[in-house]
Amino acid sequence: MNFFEHQAAARKASIRLVLLFVLAVIGIVCAVDVAVLIALSANDETTPGHAAVLLVVASLVTIAIIGLGSLYRVASLRGGGETVAQQMGGEPVPEQTRDPQLRRLRNVVEEIAIASGVPMPKLYVLEHEAGINAFAAGYAPSDAVIAVTRGALDRLNRDELQGVIAHEFSHILNGDMRLNIRLIGVLFGILMLGLIGRKILEHGRFGGRDKGAGAVMVAALVAMAVGYIGLFFGRMIKAGVSRSREMLADASAVQFTRQTAGLAGALKKIGGVGEGAKLERAGDAEEVSHMLFGDGVGLSGMFATHPPLLDRIQALEPGFRRDQLESLHRRWLSQPPNGLDEDARLGLSDGKTAHLPGVDAEFNVSPPMVVAQVAHPTTDDYRRADVIVSTIPEPLRALVANREDVVPLVLALLLDGNTTVQGKQHAEIAARLGRETAVFAQAMRSEQLGALHPMQRLPLAALAFPVLRLRPSPELNVVLDTVHAVVNTDGRVSVFEYCLGTLLQHQLRESLDPSRHAPFGRDKVAAVKREAAILLALVAQAGHDNPHDALRAYLAGLQRVLPREHIDYAPPPEGVLALEAVWPALNRLNPAAKQSMVEAVTAAISHDGRISVNEAELLRTLCGVLHCPLPPMLERG
C-alpha cells in the first residue's frame, strides 16, 4: 500500500474502533441490567413497571459514566504527544545534550525526519526503564513525540536503534498515532465502572451493620465485576486494532532502512536480555500497550497487542529458530549487550555516501513516482538526509538548537534578497520582536544563509521546529504573526518564501492545539474544483516563464485530477497569496482525492518530465501543507 492507501486504512480502522466501542458499551450495559434484574428479583414488592424504569435509569447512568469517562480522558490528552510522554514519566531530551546515547538518538531521529519530509518530532526518554521499548504519540506529525527507554539506548547499537525509530516513524506516517491516542480515551471510558468500584472499596468506610453501607459495598463489587467485563472488551479492542499495524510498521521500517539486521537485532535483544520490553516504572503501561514497540505488559494470546516476538523476528529472518533466541538469552544474562561498544566494534557511524546535487540540477520524475515516494522513504532517502544534515554548517546547527537564536534564524530564511523589501521586513520584525532580533536575522541572512543550498532550507526549518514549539502559546502566536508579516511585506512574495512561511504557520498552529486538526478529510475533488484550478494555475505559472508552456502544464495537471472539466487557465492576480483560501478546502479531501491532487501538481510542475531543485522543494512544501510528506530528493540513486 502507498501512503494514501494507508491513510484510508487508518480511517477505516477509526470507524471500526467506534463500532467496537459501541458493542463494548452494549455488553457492559447488558451486564449492569442483568445485575439490576437479579437484585430486583430478590424483592417481591417490585412491580414490572418499576423494574422497567430502574432498568432504563441503570442503562442511562452506565452510558453516561462511560461517555463522560471517555470524554474526560480524551480532554486530558488534548496536548497530544507530549502529554502522553509526560504521563508515562518521560523526560525531554535536551537539544544540545552531551550524553553520547542521547546525541546518537537525536542524530538518528533528525536524519529520519528529514528523509521522511516531516517536522522533527520532540524526543523523550524514559530514564528509569531498563526494558527495550519505544513509542510514538500525537495527533499529527506536527505534534509528534518519540519516546525511548533508557534500556533501548543502553542495549541497542546504531543500526538497531535506527530500526526501532523507523518503526515508530511508520506509525507517524501511516496515521496510526491519532488512532492510538483516541484508543486511550475510549478504553478509559469502558473501564470507568470498574475504577469507580475499586475506589469505593479502597476508600470507603463501612462500619457496623448499616444496611446502606452494605448496599454500597454490594454495588461496588458489582461495578468491579462489570469492570472486568470492560477490561475484557478493552483488551480485545486493543489487540484487534494494534496487532496487524505492528507487523505493518515492522515491514515499513525494513523498507525504509533496506536492511533487516537492525530491526531484527532489536527484537532479538528484547527476547534475549533479562528486562525484555517490560515497563516497570512508567505510568499505566497497559493503557499505552498498543502504542509500544514491544509488549510492555506481558499480555499474550487473544489479548496480545503485538504478534509473538519470534514471529516478528522470523518475518525478517525466516531461518531464525527459537533455540537461537534461547542461546542469546543465556549469553546476555551473564554479559548484557552495550550499544555504544557495539557501534565502536562494528564501525557503525554516519555513512556519507551521497552528495547534494548542483543548484541547477534536474530530476526525471512522473506523477506515479512522486505518489510512491510520499511518506515512503527508502534507504537512499536516509543517506541523502544524512548528507543534508552533515553538510549544514555547524554554526547553523548550533543556532537551530538554541531557544534564543532559533526565531531570528527562521526569520532570516524568509528575508528577501532585495534590500528595499528586506528593509521593510526588518521594520516588521523590529515592531513585533524588537530591534535586536531584526538585526540578528539580517546578519544571519547576509553572513550565514547566503551560501546555503536550496535543499538545506526546508530541513533547517524542520530541525528548528521542536525548539520553536518550546515557546509559550502567546509568544509563539507573536512569532507566527511576525512570519506572516515578513512573508507578506509588499504583496510580491516569492513562491519559496510564501511556501516556507505557510508551512511554518500550518505546522506550528497545529501544534498549539493538535486535537482540533483532523487528518482524514471526506471531500472528493469535485467539491474543490475552483481551489484545485487555482493551485494548478499557480504551480504552472511558477515553473514556466513562457505563458504557452504554463498553459500546457496547467492542462496536464487538470487532466490528471478533473479530466472531464473545462476550467480556463487563469492565475489569480495576487499570485501565491491566493493560496490562503485554497489550503482549508484541499485539506478536507479524502486520501484518494489527495493522491489525485499530488499527481496533478506533479504533472503540472513536470509536464516536460524534469524538475529543478527549486521546483522539487516547492513540490515538497505543497505536499507538506497537504499533510502528504515527501522525501527531500525526487530522483533515485
C-alpha cell belonging to residue 478: 507573536
> What is the C-alpha to C-alpha distance for residues 537 and 604, in angstroms, rounded to an integer?
8
E-state strands within 48-174 = 91-92, 122-126, 134-137, 145-149
Tell me the β-bridge partners of 123.
146
C-alpha cell belonging to residue 186: 475510549
The closest of 301, 375, 264, 304 to 9, measured between CA atoms, is 375
C-alpha cell belonging to residue 470: 518550546
Residue 204: which pLDDT band, with cuts at 50, 70 and 90? low
pLDDT at 557: 92
Q: Between 3.10.450.50, 3.40.190.10, 3.30.2010.10, 3.40.50.300, what CATH number should domain 93-170+242-346 receive? A: 3.30.2010.10
Residue 218 has phi, psi (to 5 degrees) of -65, -45
> What is the C-alpha to C-alpha distance for residues 614 and 629, in angstroms, rounded to an integer?
17
Coil/strand/helix, residue 480: helix
* Candidates 95, 111, 129, 168; catalytic one: 168
Alpha helices in 258-281 (DSSP H): 260-272
From residue 253, alpha-carbon distances to 272, 334, 361 in Å are 21, 31, 30
Q: Where are the domains of the chain?
A: 3-81+185-240, 93-170+242-346, 379-490
> What is the C-alpha to C-alpha distance for residues 474 and 491, in angstroms, rounded to an integer?
26
- Name the least confident of 119-133, 359-373, 572-586: 359-373
Instruction: Say if CB 253 and CB 376 are below 8 A apart.
Output: no
Summary mean pLDDT of the chain: 83
pLDDT at 618: 76
Give the containing element (helix H, strand E) for 181.
helix 176-190
> What is the C-alpha to C-alpha distance for residues 136 and 144, in angstroms, rounded to an integer?
7
pLDDT at 192: 82
Eight-state DSSP code of residue 366: -
Compute the average pLDDT of residues 590-610. 85
Helix 591-605 with 547-561: angle, nearest 10 deg: 160
The predicted-structure confidence for 402-456, as pLDDT tens digits, reads as follows 888 999 999 998 888 888 888 999 999 999 999 999 999 999 998 888 778 877 8
The closest of 467, 469, 465, 463 to 392, measured between CA atoms, is 463
> What is the C-alpha to C-alpha distance for residues 416 and 439, in angstroms, rounded to an integer?
14
> What is the C-alpha to C-alpha distance for residues 309 and 314, in angstroms, rounded to an integer?
9
Burial 431-454 (b: 16+ CB within 10 A, else e): ebbeeebbebbbebbeeebeebeb
pLDDT at 2: 60
From residue 192, alpha-carbon distances to 25, 92, 359, 377, 532 in Å are 11, 31, 59, 41, 47
> What is the C-alpha to C-alpha distance for residues 578 and 40, in angstroms, rounded to an integer?
68
> What is the C-alpha to C-alpha distance for residues 620 and 454, in angstroms, rounded to an integer?
12
pLDDT at 349: 64
Compute the average pLDDT of residues 144-173. 92
pTM of the model: 0.81
Q: What's the CA angle centered on 598, arms 541 and 513, to 5 degrees?
A: 105
Instruction: Say if CB 232 and CB 352 are below 8 A apart.
Output: no
Higher pLDDT, 468 or 9: 468
Q: What's the CA angle centered on 526, arms 522 and 532, to 5 degrees?
A: 95
Tell me the β-bridge partners of 126.
149
Active site residue 326: no
pLDDT at 323: 92
Q: How many CB atoms lie within 10 A of CB 484?
A: 15
C-alpha cell belonging to residue 23: 458493542
Selection from 391-400, 411-420, 490-499, 551-560 with the highest mean pLDDT: 551-560
Higher pLDDT, 614 or 550: 550
What's the distance, CA 509 to chain centroid? 15
The closest of 295, 291, 334 to 311, measured between CA atoms, is 295
Give the containing element (helix H, strand E) for 148.
strand 145-149
C-alpha cell belonging to residue 254: 525494513
From residue 144, alpha-carbon distances to 35, 109, 168, 340, 508 in Å are 43, 12, 10, 27, 12
Eight-state DSSP code of residue 375: T
C-alpha cell belonging to residue 427: 521594520
Place of cell 544563509: 449
pLDDT at 13: 66
pLDDT greater than 80 at residue 512: no
Higher pLDDT, 502 or 634: 502
The predicted-structure confidence for 2-46, as pLDDT tens digits, reads as follows 666 666 666 676 677 678 778 888 888 888 888 888 877 776 666
> What is the C-alpha to C-alpha distance for residues 492 and 502, in angstroms, rounded to an integer?
15
Residue 50: which pLDDT band, with cuts at 50, 70 and 90? confident
pLDDT greater than 60 at residue 207: no
Place of cell 534475549: 272
The closest of 134, 141, 133 to 173, measured between CA atoms, is 141
pLDDT at 520: 62
